[in-house]
Amino acid sequence: MVVFPNAKINLGLRITSKRTDGYHNLDTLFYPIPLFDVLEVVQYPSQDIIFESSGKKIEGTIEQNLCAKAYHLLKNDFPQIPGIQVHLHKHIPMGAGMGGGSADGAFMIKLLNEKFKLGLDNEKMEAYALQLGSDCPIFIRNKPCYTTGRGEQMEDIALDLSAYYMLMVSPGIHVSTADAFKNVSPDASIQPCKDIIQEPIETWKDRLFNDFEKTVFQSYPVLNQIKDDLYAMGAVYASMTGSGSSFYGIFKSLPDGKPFAEKGYELNLIKPKS
C-alpha cells in the first residue's frame, strides 16, 4: 500500500501560554499543501518493522523515526499487526517547519488502520497521533484547521487559497525548535488567527504573525531578508512556517523564484487545491 504524506504551512502562529506539562498553548491555522513524501508499506515475514528510505537524507536512528514509532505504538495495542517493510521517499524539506516528519507518522497510523482493518475512527487516530507529536493530529484530519491547545484542539475552517500561488523557500538552515520555544514570550491577549484569516488576504501582512520570527531573525538575519524579498517580489502575504526556516509567499500571479535559486535555496512552487 502506498500513501503520499503532504506538508503544511502555518497561517499565523501565536504562543499564548506555557503549560504546566512543559508544552505551550498555540493559536494557529494549519493549511495542508500539495508537497509530498511517498510512504510504502508491505507485509513482511517478521515481527517488527524493516525501514529503508530514499531521497533526502533522514537524520537519527530508525527508532527515532515517527513511522517506526507509529508502528510500535499501534502494535502495542493491536498485537495482531504483522511485521512490515517500509520504504519512505523523502521529498519534503526537513527541519524546516513544514511538518514532513509529523505527516509521515500520521499517515503511517492511517495506513496501518486501513491495511490491517483496525477499525479506528478519526478521533482515535488523532489521539494516537498526539502521542507522536503536537502537530501530528492535524494530518489525520488533513484539512484547514484552527488549532489551539498543544495541537489537539482542532476546528475545521472554510479557507480556500486555490486562486493563489505559493512559493516555498527553504534555505537549508536548521532552526532548533527547543530554542525557538525557549526564546518566545507567550501572550494571551492576541486576536485569534481564525478571526484574522476571515478578512481579505491583503490585510494579513500587518495582523497575522508568527511569534517565532522575532527571535529567529535575531539569530539568522538572512531569514528576515527572505521574507522581505518575497514581499518585494509581489507577495500579498509572506511568513515563516512553523518554527523552522522555510518561508512561503502567497502570490496572485505566477512568481519567479530565480533570485532565490541563484542563492542556492530550495524552491517549491505550490498551487493549493480547493
Instruction: Tell me how far the alpha carbon of residue 173 is from its chain's centroid.
Output: 16
Q: Which of 8, 69, 110, 194 is catalytic?
A: 8
Q: What is the pTM of this model?
A: 0.94
Question: Do 54 and 151 fall into the same domain?
Answer: yes
Please tell me whether residues 73 and 198 are part of one structural domain: no
Examine the domain organization and report whether 135 and 200 are in the same domain. Answer: no
Q: Which of 156, 189, 214 is the last residue of a domain?
A: 156
Which residue, 132, 156, 180, sits at the end of a domain? Answer: 156
Q: Find the catalytic residue in 37, 104, 135, 211.
A: 135
Range of the domain at 196: 165-270
Residues 146 and 169 reside in one and the same domain: no
Q: How far apart are CA 272 and CA 187, in angstroms?
A: 31
Instruction: Indicate if 14 and 118 belong to the same structural domain.
Output: yes
CA dist., res. 113 & res. 103, Å (int): 15
- Residue that terminates a domain, selected from 133, 156, 179: 156
* 182 is a catalytic site residue: no
* Per-position pLDDT tens, the chain of length 274: 999 999 999 999 999 998 888 888 999 999 999 999 999 999 999 889 999 999 999 988 888 999 999 999 999 999 999 999 999 999 999 888 899 999 999 999 999 999 999 999 999 999 999 999 988 999 999 999 999 998 889 999 999 999 999 999 999 887 777 777 777 888 888 999 999 999 999 999 999 999 999 888 988 999 999 999 999 999 999 999 988 889 999 999 999 999 999 999 999 999 998 7
Task: Tally the domains of the chain.
Answer: 2
With contact defined as beta carbons under 8 Å apart, do 137 and 109 qualify? Answer: no
8 is catalytic: yes
In this structure, are 197 and 233 located in the same domain? yes
Instruction: Let me know whether 24 and 140 are in one domain.
Output: yes
